[in-house]
Structure 1
Amino acid sequence: MPVTRDIVATYRGPRRVVRRLLDMGEREDRALVMLVGACVVVFVAQWPRLAREAHLAERDLNPLLGGALMAWLFIAPLLLYAIALISHGIARLIGGRGTAYGARLALFWAFLAASPLILLHGLVAGFVGPGLGLQGVGLIWCGVFGWFWLSGLREAEWSSA
């Protein structure tokens, strides 16, 4: 199934999508592509906000873009791998029977599946700026991401399949 259909299907039932991805077998390359794809989307989502900041502060945009590139394509993947490992360890402590790959897949897929809301957040940050709208979209993203991640982690760690 194409990734866009899987993203839409995740909004209807995140556990089913994660189960289907897990049933495809352990493929670290697939998990890494999901993670890098999500990080690229987040990097692109930063552009409107960074352009707004550069314009308002009368600064050059390129250093801001370079910093965001470094953060989202080099540092964030490492941190997300660490978060996935920690979440797997915590799940094991409370009775999880899954693998570290399953925990990584659940986190990386949740990050990618929630990426349309990150794009919306970036647009609101760039065109509307700080305020209640930006906070609302950010809160919605956090809730959806948490729902996807915890549902996927539950499927990866505690599912009998």
Structure 2
Amino acid sequence: MPVVRDIAATYRGPHKVVARLLAMGEREDRAFVILMAACVVTFIGQWPRLAREAHVTGQELNPLLGGTLMAWLFIAPLLAYALAFAIHFVFRALRRKQTPYGSRVALFWAMLAASPLILLHGLVAGFIGEGIQLSIVGLVWLVCFLWFWMSGMLQAGKGI
């Protein structure tokens, strides 16, 4: 199934999409591409906010974009791998059957599936700025991300 359809299907049933991804077999390149796509979309989602910040403060936009690029395309993937590794051990300590690959796919797919809300968050931050609207969109993103992630983690444990 194409990625856009999988993202839409995740909002209807995240465990089904993660089950389908895990049924394709353990391929670390697939997990890495999912993670990098999520990071790229998140980076793009930051552009309106950064443009607003540069305009309001009088800063140059390019250094802000460069720092955000470094953060999202080089540092965030390392942190995501570390988080997936740590959560894998938490689930193992709770006697849940998990594979490290399943933990990574659940986290990385949750990041990618929630990315449309990150784009909306960036638009709200760029065009409206700080306020209740930004907080509401951020809260909706957080709830969806956690729902996708935990559903994916539980599904990853069932496949063993």
TM-score normalised by structure 1 residue count = 0.98
Q: Paired residues, what number? A: 160
1:107, distance to aligned residue in structure 2 (A): 0.1
SS at match of 2:98: coil
1:95 aligns with 2:95: yes
* 1:114 alignment counterpart: 114
The residue number in structure 2 matching 1:25 is 25
Which residues of structure 2 form unaligned runs of 5+? Answer: none
- Give the superposition deviation at 1:97: 1.4
Residue matched to 1:57:
57
Q: How many Å apart are 1:95 and its aligned residue?
A: 1.2
Match of 2:144 in 1: 144
Please name the residue that 2:6 is paired with. Answer: 6
Partner of 2:129: 129
* TM-score, length basis structure 2: 0.98
| Structure 1 residue runs of 4 or more that deviate by more than 3 Å after TM superposition | none
Name the counterpart of 2:82: 82
Q: Residue 124 of structure 1: CA displacement? A: 0.1
Amino acid aligned to 2:113: A
In angstroms, what is the RMSD of aligned CA positions? Answer: 0.8
Quote the Cα distance in structure 2 between the aligned partners of 1:95 and 1:57. 51
Q: Greater CA deviation, 116-125 or 94-103?
A: 94-103
In structure 2, distance between residues paired with 1:160 and 1:74 = 31
Closer, same or farther in 2 for the Cα pair 1:9/1:64, shift >3 Å? Answer: same
In structure 2, distance between residues paired with 1:23 and 1:58: 51
The alignment-based identity, stated in percent, is: 65
Is 1:71 the equivalent of 2:87?
no
**SS of residue paired to 1:59:** coil
Structure 1, unaligned stretches of length 5 or more? Answer: none
Displacement after TM superposition at 1:77 (Å): 0.3
Deviates more, 1:140-149 or 1:87-96: 87-96
Distance 2:57 2:159 in 1: 55
